[in-house]
Amino acid sequence: MKPNIQSIRNYVSATNYLSAAQIYLQENVLLEKPLSFKNIKSRLLGHWGTCPGINFTYANLNALIKEHELDMLFILGPGHGFPALQANLFLEGTLSQYYKEATHTKAGVEHICKLFSWPYGYPSHSSPGAPGVILEGGELGYSLSTAFGSVLDNPDLITAVLIGDGEAETGPTATAWHLNKFLNPTTDGAVLPILHLNGYKISGPTIFGRMSNSEIKSLFKGYGYKPYIVDKKDPYNQMSETMESAYQDIKKIREKYRSSNRPETPPTWPVIILKTPKGWTGVKNLKGQKLEGNNLSHQVTTPLAKTDKVELSALRRWLKSYKFNTLFDPEKGFIDSIESVLPRPELRMGRSRHAHGGAHVVKDLSLPPAKMFSEDATKPGTIGSSSMRRAGEYLNEVFKRSANDRNFRLFSPDETYSNKLDKVFESTSRAFQWPVKSWDKDITRDGRVIEMLSEHSLQGLLQGYVLTGRHAIFASYEAFIQVVASMVDQYIKFLRVARQTSWRQDIPSANYILTSSGWRQDHNGFSHQNPAFIDNVLQKHGCYIHVYFPADGNTTLAVLEKTLSSRNEVNIIVAGKTLEPRWLTPELAKESLERGIMTWEFASDENPDIVLCATGDYLTKETLAAITLIKQELPKVKIRFVNIVELTSIGIGNRECRAPFSDFTDYFTHDRPVIFNFHGYPETLKQFLFDVGEDTRRFSVHGYIENGSTTTPFDMHVRNETDRYNLVKKAVKMLLSHESITKEEAEKVTRKYDKKLTDHTEYIKTHGVDPDEVENWRWM
């Protein structure tokens, strides 16, 4: 039965009181005594302005869930409105499931009030420690795309997402409105966006808040939505009716598009625009300044309540206005009227089965063995397929095997073909609900690849999809994944806390493929040459963050099999899409991956005079080419070649993550010179060597040093001194310093390769391509 409006009013009053009390009160939380300075927290933290709208929305969603027995997930965009979300989780009884002190008693209210924004208590914003939450509430802009990700291949779910009008100004939110074009009503769930316009950000008006109703309606109609505006001074009846209308729209869309006579036209999903004053029901005016309906109510509206009698008095009147003592009994809890708003326990949004992982939502992918698509590498250096072609073959099979479960997706910013992953289109297609033209290729309504030129939207889809229990890969040009670096930071923070939260269960890992790397973006130029994302994620100090650099297609296959079967991790695979040599058999590739680092015996001598180490496919080829040249010039020199597949395994990013069989000197000796040739910035490896505690003068680190242009592939290496010729010169210099060769030998080889570098530059200026000795080089 639908709760009556008065019950919803009582519910909102109770949660408004609890929201404000958490911000201000450290004791006397039920106002059983006159409010005094000592009752007020010494440090007032929290954001009041958005809380009333959150409470109002949550109450009306509860009423809708109860009436229709809905499976609904709630995502909160204004994360700093957490006092409101916490109040609702407390009221619905979910909080006490995970925090035993949060009971519906006086002690329970004291618990949530005292510990809100308190050291070792509850944080100031949404976090994994709050049940039902799948979005870190710090940086704004990601709630809408995460909501869409949560409902993909989740046909019975409705995700209600509350978006603040400050958040609505962000680029990620602006692009996420278009995700309705990818939502299939037949196989996906529904998103109910609620745009909360309270008119103000922290210090000024919002853009949406100053738009007229006609402008807002025109905008959202253009986006393909059916807009409802709730804007009455007393909006309770209007909101209840609007919620019902929006749900009926969703229900009709489902019925229509799941019937045998599915329309050809795309669906028009509802969106609710809720207009309430900033700081609604709070202090209206203080010391001659307008608070309610103004930016001054954004955070703590009476910031001097601890020391100022006028502000303390205003706070007392405000809190008393909710008549909380009539809504809550210190021993019995909330009155029946409020309880009548709540759905049955398993349908309460804080208890959503979609939010906490575990076997009830996570189903393992049926993965093919990597060896199924491997290529013969018994003769190292045989030219094979590209890593991305191997990956495409593998992912195509994953799509085939997951066709019935529909629990796997590929996200890419219009680059599936460019990145050589288009083999997947044998088993699926690109999803699109808007009109499809007869000449469009690999586009259907039912596809499970989503391409959109918005990395932010794709990252949000990935997060929502994975956090609700499904598996996915995000493939991007290496240079432009950096667009979502901050967003990935937020996800990593969420994952770190979630992994430490006992009641959050396993979820699939978030997987990334970075290809079209800067080393082969010679044709696109300097703007496309940027490996910075690697460094960004390695700064996060977590053993659950892995960056893989498979040297060939067989190793790429092994990495894919491992990452797609992993849980609770962030995996980044950095590999190229051009035709390159095969180096490792499937067996050696697997062994290399298990260790993370391996000496390649076919390219190594016993008791080496020098060690050359490579990380990355193109860097591996240049390093091995350098070894062949050194052997030609200085046949008595003994060389060891070491390849690093995964950086965390040797302690980069976090020393505690080092694999137990990865003793440094086993690979790099105690005293021999070592040259590292690294895919990314040299500083990434240098910081690791600083921690080794040895004399680092015996190490030389080469990598991308921000030298690039439109040039040739080999010249990209020359400009950054990662090419075979510069490596030979460096090796000779280091061998001389260790007295492994004579001065005459060193000078002769150096002169020769100085000339080769000069000749190379002149050759590419004349011919526009690399010389044959580079293009046609083969491992011997």
DSSP assignment of 646-691: BGGGGTTT-GGG--TT--HHHHH-SSS-EEEEESS-HHHHHHHHHH
pLDDT over 80 at 541, yes or no: no
Confidence of residue 650 (pLDDT cuts 50, 70, 90): low
> Residue 662 and residue 645: Cα distance in Å, rounded?
12
Q: DSSP E strands: which ranges in 529-652? A: 545-548, 570-574, 581-582, 597-599, 610-615, 639-644
Structural domain contains residue 589: no
Of 547, 581, 615, the residue that ends a domain is: 581
pLDDT over 90 at 469, yes or no: yes
Tell me, yes or no, whether 187 and 115 share the same domain: yes
Residues whose CB is less than 8 angstroms from the CB of residue 520 and which lie 6 or more positions away in sequence, other chains included: 576, 577, 578, 618, 713, 716
By DSSP bridging, strand 610-615 and strand 597-599 are unpaired
Count CB neighbours of 445 within 10 A: 20
The reported pLDDT for the residue numbered 654 is: 62
Tell me, yes or no, whether 108 and 215 share the same domain: yes
pLDDT over 90 at 465, yes or no: yes
Tell me, yes or no, whether 322 and 411 share the same domain: no
Residue 242: φ, ψ to 5° = -65, -40
> Residue 495 and residue 475: Cα distance in Å, rounded?
20
> Residue 588 and residue 573: Cα distance in Å, rounded?
18
Tell me, yes or no, whether 548 and 612 share the same domain: no
Structural domain contains residue 354: no
> Residue 176 and residue 457: Cα distance in Å, rounded?
6
Residue 614: φ, ψ to 5° = -130, 145
Structural domain contains residue 357: no
3-state helix, strand, coil in the chain (%, to 5): 45, 15, 40
Q: List residues bridging with 412 in a β-sheet.
A: 451
pTM as predicted:
0.96
Structural domain contains residue 324: yes
Q: What percent of the chain has pLDDT over 90?
A: 90
Q: What is the pLDDT of residues 614-634, one digit of tens each?
A: 999 999 999 999 999 999 999
Q: DSSP E strands: which ranges in 31-107? A: 72-76
pLDDT over 90 at 147, yes or no: yes
The reported pLDDT for the residue numbered 195 is: 98
pLDDT over 60 at 229, yes or no: yes
Number of domains in the chain: 3
Of 566, 581, 596, the residue that ends a domain is: 581
759 lies in which domain range? 605-775
CATH number at residue 623: 3.40.50.920
CB 583 within 8 A of CB 518: no
- What are the Cα distances from residue 443, in Å, to 141, 449, 595? 28, 9, 41
CB 18 within 8 A of CB 112: yes
DSSP 73: E
Q: How far apart are the first and last CA of the chain?
A: 79
Structural domain contains residue 599: no
Query: Locate tokens 């009709």: which residue?
Result: 252
Confidence of residue 668 (pLDDT cuts 50, 70, 90): very high
pLDDT over 80 at 777, yes or no: yes
Tell me, yes or no, whether 156 and 16 share the same domain: yes
Q: Which two tokens stand for residue 716?
A: 């990209």
Query: Locate tokens 């000078």: which residue?
Result: 747
The reported pLDDT for the residue numbered 538 is: 84
CB 122 within 8 A of CB 115: yes
Tell me, yes or no, whether 136 and 179 share the same domain: yes
Tell me, yes or no, whether 527 and 441 share the same domain: yes
pLDDT over 60 at 653, yes or no: no
pLDDT over 90 at 696, yes or no: no
Strand, helix or coil for residue 411: strand
> Residue 196 and residue 254: Cα distance in Å, rounded?
26
Structural domain contains residue 456: yes
pLDDT over 70 at 659, yes or no: no
Q: If phi over 0 gives left and psi between -120 and 50 gives alpha, with beta otherwise, what is residue 381?
A: left
For the segment 663-682, the average pLDDT, to the nearest whole number, is: 92
CB 443 within 8 A of CB 409: no
Query: Locate tokens 């204004």: which residue?
Result: 78
Of 581, 616, 643, the residue that ends a domain is: 581
Q: What is the pLDDT of residues 88-102, one digit of tens each?
A: 999 999 999 999 999
Structural domain contains residue 591: no
Q: Which two tokens stand for residue 711?
A: 């040039």
The reported pLDDT for the residue numbered 456 is: 97
One-letter amino acid at 477 equals Y
Tell me, yes or no, whether 642 and 553 share the same domain: no
The reported pLDDT for the residue numbered 419 is: 95
pLDDT over 80 at 13, yes or no: yes
Structural domain contains residue 596: no
Handedness of CA 597, 602, 606, 610 (dihedral sign): negative
The reported pLDDT for the residue numbered 542 is: 79
Q: What is the pLDDT of residues 599-618, one digit of tens each?
A: 999 999 999 999 999 999 99
pLDDT over 80 at 108, yes or no: yes
Tell me, yes or no, whether 343 and 390 share the same domain: no
Tell me, yes or no, whether 321 and 388 share the same domain: no
Tell me, yes or no, whether 377 and 338 share the same domain: no
The lowest-confidence range among 280-284, 531-535, 601-605, 624-628 is: 531-535
One-letter amino acid at 324 equals F
> Residue 378 and residue 390: Cα distance in Å, rounded?
17
CATH number at residue 529: 3.40.50.970
Burial of 697 (0-12, 13-18, 19+ CB in 10 A): exposed
Tell me, yes or no, whether 279 and 312 share the same domain: yes
